[in-house]
Structure 1
């Protein structure tokens, strides 16, 4: 009996551990990931080599970032293109060279497009919870209890909701001229996840994207991030996970020469040389067919997208006016918040 009990206890412990596991993408929102990356750069500006321990101390002192352990932080850093290298006798955390080059290229491209006078549209998703309310409000410290306020003819502050409630996923785009008319899309989340990107899929995004392309200026630029549903490929290109026969068939269909005696690694080398011709995003091709250009933000660089500040303005309006915590009312507030953002606001943010 003791053995059986201990066996069942071990099963329960394993199940509990499974429940505690989470993805880093679910623990952090995009802005929080960006804060971590910028914190690394703060050390460099201070002339200090950032280490995992130093970074952990600073993150713990930041109220905008949830409490995490060293292992989660290490995983997050790798997702942020930050590596751990030796510098003479010291080890520190630098950004990967490919991300530095990507950011530099993006900045050069957008400056060129602006100099050419092209219209630039910025696209992004966000979310609003039914229970979102403003964090701070004026409070009468002289009121000591509910009876006290009743006797004095005063009131106590309204009670906040016990939870966040349902989540509303929102998608829109705009430019220095303001939000694009007809570009608003919203739907209620069906997943219990803090990562709103999990709710969208490639088909839904493509249908929405194609609906307003004709309303945009000719020869314009559309800026978006690298979410998976933004980057659905037109066709699958062989990778190391493919079987050798499948790689050979793909090369044969595409008309590329290879020898039957070649090993898998040699076949992948041929694929690598021609990948750029076939590894295209369906959204990019769709935009090109309408005379538009898609410009991709560097990974984890949401601060380069001015619509983030627009969303902050909109969500600030929602949280400061949310009193019923009903999804229908929150949607109405969201529409009102979007209408309040003027072209002048957009120009300043851009």
Structure 2
């Protein structure tokens, strides 16, 4: 990032200052050590530890009055900075003019080069002839603005390719303007906003970076740099529990390790989940006349001959629960079940978990687990992955929570093999053994026990990690299909039949895509975990 060479004023931030803002002081007031700190800082700010200096811990003084000499020096510094930028400019590759439209292609190449130069100049381009590339090209080539625009449009690639290529190339080009230290400075600033829950837009972020660090580029360039650094303006979905709870972090690591092991051993991995559908599933948006909303119809519409329009879509009323198991190649046909709630419409809740209970889940699994065994190829272990909903965790018997003689005897009788295995490893008495055993180790679930008797292993996804299940993507595709093909007048039975037909006809390639999509998500999370572990090891070695 280029800056004016040795301006008369310098930006200073004191670490012990009562004010969080910057100071602007004369450069000649800095010591040689402070000048060295200023030159090393990528944003042109000297960060100085002022200790107990009370004079520097007051509010910043106003900058000195602008004199003619200062103004001239500032303009000279600005022109020198522009000269440094121009000296380091590079060109881009262009298409060689051929054919009957060589003149337009030459014009197109010229405009492309001018736009590239404007991008490299950053904010310095605003007050120069590069501020408006179209007008500059018109003056250089002696043609009208319409001819310049025609040349740009005529040689553009296809719309789809142009959108992707231009976006990626512009983002990449903008990011090259920043050094690694400057990128990290911007990311750290954004991370601080996340930690403080401080909302920001491109405009406010640009203002903060410009004020605090002297960021010299335009807001649009900042936007492209953020996109190139894999930042996006999207729905807020960050869940801190998945990132800060140690038990979930350990569960996630254990789950990913187990899944890698099962895939390596050639296990036949299936996934189970539930979702909901409702009557009248249709799109919530559609092309309507602008005067077909209820307010305008009541006041200005013709009540005898009202204009037609799409009826309002609703997600209320009677619902049904969809249950299914997906294998590596299909939605298991025998597993597809859609249960209509028997509650009145007024009592139906948005969350289907409120009226699907553990008994319904148990009956469903008693029917489906033998089907999974039947679908499992010979020589492969059957694995069923489920989420951690409470209805999936009905225990065979409760684990004692206190140590009495009756509890101790019951524990030894029920878990003889478990106790023998632990005693073989630990030379401790039974009471001490129980204190060291986690209650979660002793829990035995009804469905898991039944599945084990059939040779099916049950694996649970960590909490807040539904993205690890391919069937979640199937549910999303199902609801898109139902909304695209449905009408607001459809009865629940019609929606139910439509959903069953969709799930039964799901192609193998579609299912394979969902499995690969989950693998990509797992690989991305594992790469982040590896980086975190490496950083943790490095910090531990530095401490040692």
Q: TM-score, length-normalised on structure 1?
A: 0.65
Give the 3 Å change call, closer, same or farther, for CA 272–192 of structure 1 in structure 2.
farther
Instruction: Give the secondary-structure state (helix, strand or coil) at the position aligned to 2:248.
Output: helix
Q: 2:340 aligns with which of 183, 188, 204?
A: 188
Instruction: Give the secondary-structure state (helix, strand or coil) at the position aligned to 2:437.
Output: helix
Give the 3 Å change call, closer, same or farther, for CA 134–295 of structure 1 in structure 2.
same
Distance in 2 separating the partners of 1:195 and 1:277 = 30
Give the 3 Å change call, closer, same or farther, for CA 110–267 of structure 1 in structure 2.
same
- Shift, 1:140, TM fit: 5.1
Matched-pair contact (CA < 8 Å) for 2:478–2:499:
yes
Pair 1:175-2:337 in alignment? no
Distance in 2 separating the partners of 1:188 and 1:64 = 33
- 5+ unaligned residues in a row in structure 1: which ranges? 1-42, 66-75, 83-93, 257-265
Distance in 1 separating the partners of 2:479 and 2:354 = 20
- Shift, 1:183, TM fit: 0.4
Matched-pair contact (CA < 8 Å) for 1:310–1:341:
no
Q: Which has the higher helix share?
A: 2
Q: 1:322 aligns with which of 486, 489, 502?
A: 486
Q: 1:233 aligns with which of 370, 375, 395?
A: 395
Pair 1:339-2:504 in alignment? yes
Distance in 2 separating the partners of 1:44 and 1:181 = 50
Give the 3 Å change call, closer, same or farther, for CA 45–180 of structure 1 in structure 2.
farther
Distance in 1 separating the partners of 2:393 and 2:513 = 29
Give the 3 Å change call, closer, same or farther, for CA 315–274 of structure 1 in structure 2.
closer
Determine the structure 2 residue equivalent to 1:111: 260
- Shift, 1:51, TM fit: 3.2
- Shift, 1:135, TM fit: 2.5
Over alpha carbons, which structure has the higher Rg? 2
Greater shift after overlay, 48-57 or 307-316? Answer: 48-57
What pairs with 1:132-281 in structure 2 (closer than 5 Å)?
Answer: 132-139=281-288, 147=302, 156-161=308-313, 164-189=316-341, 190=343, 191-216=347-372, 217=376, 219-239=381-401, 247-255=404-412, 270=434, 272-273=436-437, 275=439, 278-281=442-445
Pair 1:81-2:246 in alignment? no
Give the 3 Å change call, closer, same or farther, for CA 44–121 of structure 1 in structure 2.
farther
Matched-pair contact (CA < 8 Å) for 1:127–1:167:
yes
The alignment of Structure 1 onto Structure 2 pairs a total of residues equal to 265
Determine the structure 2 residue equivalent to 1:121: 270
Instruction: Specify which structure has the bigger relative contact order, considering alpha-carbon pairs within 8 angstroms and separated by 6 or more residues.
Output: 1
Give the 3 Å change call, closer, same or farther, for CA 150–223 of structure 1 in structure 2.
same
- 5+ unaligned residues in a row in structure 2: which ranges? 1-186, 202-232, 414-429, 516-544
- Shift, 1:108, TM fit: 1.6
- Shift, 1:269, TM fit: 7.4
- Shift, 1:162, TM fit: 5.6
Distance in 2 separating the partners of 1:130 and 1:313 = 17
Distance in 2 separating the partners of 1:347 and 1:44 = 38
- Shift, 1:180, TM fit: 0.7
Residues 168-223 of structure 1 deviation map (CA, whole Å, 9 limit, x = unaligned) = 11111112211112101222232532221122222221221121222221521111
Distance in 2 separating the partners of 1:202 and 1:192 = 18
Determine the structure 2 residue equivalent to 1:287: 451
- Shift, 1:161, TM fit: 4.6
